[in-house]
A = this chain, B = another copy of it.
C-alpha cells in the first residue's frame, strides 16, 4: 500500500461524512488533507458546551475520533465499516470559551488490518494544545 498518495480529497471526505453520518456531519469542517495528515474543525455550537462555555469531553472525543477516521479514509478510500477499537486521550487544558476546536492529525501506521493515528486538539488561535489523543481503527478485510 502506497503511503504517499491520497485517494480521497477534502471534498470526497465531506461528501462521505454527509452521507454516512447525517446526524453529525454539520459539526465538522475538513480544512486540509495531505498524505497521512489531516486538519478538521469542530464548529462549536451551544450543544457542544458545558456551563461556562467550555467544549465538553464527549465533543472533544468526537472530534478526535472523526479526525483520525477521516485521515485514514483519505488514504484507503471510503470504508464505512472501519471501526474505532481503542482510544487514549489526555485532557491538558481547558478549551477557550465559545471557540472552535481544530484537530491536527497524523497517521502513524496504516496496516492491512489496523490504522493508528494521533491528534492534537487546539482552541482556534491558541498555541498550546487542549488535548491529545491516539486511536486505533480496525479495517475490515477487503474481499
**B58 & A90 in contact (Cβ 8 Å cutoff):** no
Which residues of B have CB within 8 Å of A90?
85-86, 108-109, 116, 134, 136
* Mask of A48-63 contacts with B, CB within 8 angstroms, 1/0: 0111000011110110
> Is A2 in the interface zone, CB < 8 Å from B?
no
Cα(A18)–Cα(B117), bound, Å = 35
In the complex, chain B residues whose CB is within 8 Å of the CB of A93: 109
Expressed in whole angstroms, the Cα–Cα distance for A138 and B139 within the complex equals: 13
Binding site for B on A (CB under 8 A): 20-23, 47, 49-51, 56-59, 61-62, 65, 83-94, 108-109, 111, 113-114, 116, 118, 120, 128-129, 132, 134, 136, 138
